[in-house]
């Protein structure tokens, strides 16, 4: 089995759902450790209720005793580490939680993983992996004509969020070089897709437009991000976990640079097509507001290494991915309402109590999940 951290968040929940749906991996159970912060939502995993392949554990990655217990009890062959504070604007208003989870939490996991790994018999020790999910933001901001970020680009983080992720990347690197822990790191560009919390650009624009609220574009809106459909990020992580070279980092991206203002217009045009507003085009709600402090101007990922070494490529173009995304938000108004009201928190302990965890039989074996 594998231990996933942050598997109730946006990317983590897509990863868990896709892992268990994929013929190549779906037989392999997932233990999902998540603190259920404002960004964690068990509704994302509702289709897994009663699935013996999925064990949800409500807990914090900084809790060393809990992580030790999970590793001893479940003996995962890999840890896939998503758990983080992930929103740049929140990191500007309150950086402390970013240091606690992203730095201290990653440190705690690395130390627990190292102790666990050191005690494994040789074949399991050889096979064990710690996969750290990180971001392109650690590389800083690109000039308009600069080449895209390769894995060798210097680290130049500019926000408290990206600095905390850069620190965690460095810890992961050091635990490999110093202790030999078999790590892999992925640095991905901006994701979009189902279950994206509506504080981030694309889901915020969709839900605000539908509610007739302003669409706040920071500064001139000409900042560039490199967008990747979330399920392509998840397939990239699965490829790195399966075939990545130990100690290596892999950039993951969709070759899809776009200015924020163009993204917002694209979302509005899709809404005009799929759910027209009799009062006029949704773009009439676009409002330029004060810029984000220290706002990075441009990110772009050079994804040639993962393509060349692991044969990974995104399945979606931006056109197909953004259409699926807008349609998903139109089809899942209840999810949006619950997230906005905070009501989804009432799901804790209803859908997944501790009793949902498959338990070992008298021989110590766990029931086969498929
Ligand atoms: P998210 O904010 O949607 O989800 C984070 C999850 O981590 C939540 O379920 C939350 O409850 C959990 N969590 C937070 N603190 C925790 C703690 N102390 N202990 C246990 N669980 C905790 O984030 P996301 O957008 O899904 O990002 C997941 C990972 O991918 C992060 O590491 C992020 O840096 C990275 N990443 C995100 C993007 C993106 O575009 N969203 C791009 C590249 C990399
Ligand atoms: O590049 C990967 C990163 O992408 C991840 O590591 C982060 O976890 C993820 O949140 C994302 O960071 P960004 O800051 O790029 O994403 P966000 O959706 O917050 O903003 C995207 C761009 O849109 C950015 O240039 C800021 C701008 N923006 C954002 C919001 C929320 C606006 O103009 N208006 C807004 O209201």
The model's pTM: 0.96
Q: Note the pLDDT of residue 347.
A: 55
Q: Of all helices (H) and strands (E), which one includes residue 198?
A: none
User: For 241-265, what is each residue's pLDDT tens digit?
Assistant: 999 999 999 999 999 999 999 999 9
SS (H, E, C) 133-182: EEEHHHHCCCCCCCCCECCCCCCCCCCHHHHHHHHHHHHHHHHHHHHCCC
Q: Note the pLDDT of residue 360.
A: 39
Q: Are 113 and 80 in contact (CB under 8 A)?
A: no
Distance of alpha carbon 189 from the chain centroid: 10
Q: Tell me which residue of 258, 184, 177, 253 sits closest to 222, measured CA to CA.
A: 258
Q: Note the pLDDT of residue 350.
A: 53
DSSP 8-state class, residue 352:
B
A 10 A CB-CB count for 284 gives: 13
Q: How far is the centre of ligand 1, averaged over its atoms, from the C-alpha of 362 (Å)?
A: 36
Ligand nearest to the CA of 134: 1
Nearest CA to ligand 2 atom 29: 201
Candidate of 11, 161, 201 to mutate for ligand 1, largest count of ligand atoms within 8 Å of Cβ: 11
Q: At what angle do helices 318-331 and 201-211 cross, to 10 degrees?
A: 50
Known catalytic residues are: 136-137, 161
Give the list of residues 6+ apart from residue 202 with CB closer than 8 angstroms, or none.
192, 196, 263, 267, 322, 325
10 Å CB burial of residue 96 (0-12, 13-18, 19+) is: exposed
Q: Tell me which residue of 64, 176, 173, 162 sits closest to 109, measured CA to CA.
A: 64
Q: Are 81 and 113 in contact (CB under 8 A)?
A: no
Q: Tell me which residue of 180, 30, 185, 31 sits closest to 114, measured CA to CA.
A: 180
Q: Write down how long the chain is.
A: 370
Q: Note the pLDDT of residue 369.
A: 72
> Buried b / exposed e across 291-328, counting CB within 10 Å, b at 16+?
eeeeebebbbbbbebbbeebebebebebeebbbebbeb
Cα distances from 156 to residues 49, 162, 301, in angstroms, run 42, 9, 15
Q: Note the pLDDT of residue 341.
A: 83
Backbone angles phi, psi at 348, to 5 degrees: -60, 125
Q: How far is the centre of ligand 2, averaged over its atoms, from the C-alpha of 88 (Å)?
A: 7
Ligand nearest to the CA of 228: 1
Digit-by-digit pLDDT tens for the chain (370 residues) are: 999 999 999 999 999 999 999 999 989 999 999 999 999 999 999 999 999 999 999 999 999 999 999 999 999 999 999 999 999 999 999 999 999 999 999 999 999 999 999 999 999 999 999 999 999 999 999 999 999 999 999 999 999 999 999 999 999 999 999 999 999 999 999 999 999 999 999 999 999 999 999 999 999 999 999 999 999 999 999 999 999 999 999 999 999 999 999 999 999 999 999 999 999 999 999 999 999 999 999 999 999 999 999 999 999 999 999 999 999 999 999 999 999 887 666 655 554 454 344 343 344 445 567 7
**How far is 311 from 299, CA to CA, in rounded Å?**
23
Measured distance between the N- and C-terminal CA atoms of the chain, rounded to whole angstroms = 13
Distance of alpha carbon 113 from the chain centroid: 20
Ligand nearest to the CA of 199: 2
**How far is 147 from 125, CA to CA, in rounded Å?**
39
Ligand 2 environment, Cβ below 6 A: 86-88, 135-137, 189-190, 200-201, 204, 216-218, 223, 225, 260, 292, 299
Would you tell me which CATH number, out of the four given (3.40.250.10, 1.10.530.10, 3.40.50.720, 3.40.50.12780), belongs to the domain 2-191+229-255+295-315+342-351?
Answer: 3.40.50.720
In order, the DSSP letters of 262-308 are HHHHHHHHHHHHHS--TT--GGGGEEEEPPPTT---B--B--HHHHH
Candidate of 218, 265, 268, 300 to mutate for ligand 2, largest count of ligand atoms within 8 Å of Cβ: 218
Q: At what angle do helices 318-331 and 260-274 cross, to 10 degrees?
A: 50
Candidate of 63, 82, 161 to mutate for ligand 1, largest count of ligand atoms within 8 Å of Cβ: 82
């Amino acid at each position: 089995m594998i231990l996933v951290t942050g598997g109730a968040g946006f990317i983590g929940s897509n990863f868990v759902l896709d892992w268990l749906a994929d013929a190549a991996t779906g037989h392999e159970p997932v233990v999902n450790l998540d603190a259920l912060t404002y960004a964690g939502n068990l509704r994302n995993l509702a289709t897994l209720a009663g699935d013996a392949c999925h064990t949800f554990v409500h807990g914090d990655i900084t809790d060393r005793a809990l992580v030790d217990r999970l590793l001893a009890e479940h003996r995962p062959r890999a840890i896939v580490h998503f758990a983080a504070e992930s929103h740049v604007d929140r990191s500007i208003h309150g950086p402390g939680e970013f240091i606690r989870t992203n730095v201290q939490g990653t440190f705690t996991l690395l130390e627990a993983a190292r102790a666990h790994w050191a005690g494994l018999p040789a074949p399991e020790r050889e096979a064990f992996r710690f996969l750290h999910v990180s971001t392109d933001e650690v590389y800083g901001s690109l000039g308009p004509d600069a080449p895209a970020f390769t894995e060798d680009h210097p680290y130049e983080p500019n926000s408290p969020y990206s600095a905390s992720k850069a620190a965690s990347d460095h810890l992961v690197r050091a635990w490999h070089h110093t202790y030999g822990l078999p790590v892999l790191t992925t640095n991905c560009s901006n994701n979009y897709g189902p279950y994206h919390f509506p504080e981030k650009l694309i889901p915020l624009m969709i839900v605000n437009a539908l509610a007739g609220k302003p669409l706040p574009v920071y500064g001139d809106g000409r900042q560039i991000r490199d967008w990747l459909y979330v399920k392509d990020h998840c397939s990239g992580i699965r490829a790195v976990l399966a075939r990545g070279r130990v100690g290596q980092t892999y950039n993951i991206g969709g070759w899809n640079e776009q200015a924020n203002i163009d993204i917002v217009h694209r979302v509005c045009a899709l809404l005009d097509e799929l759910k027209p507003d009799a009062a006029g085009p949704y773009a009439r709600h676009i409002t330029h507001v004060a810029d984000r402090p220290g706002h990075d101007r441009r990110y772009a990922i050079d994804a040639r290494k993962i393509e060349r070494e692991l044969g990974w490529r995104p399945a979606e173009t931006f056109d197909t991915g953004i259409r699926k995304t807008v349609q998903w938000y139109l089809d899942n108004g209840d999810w949006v309402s619950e997230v906005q009201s905070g009501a989804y928190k009432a799901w804790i302990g209803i859908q997944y109590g501790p009793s949902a965890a498959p338990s070992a039989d008298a021989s110590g074996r766990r029931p086969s999940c498929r």
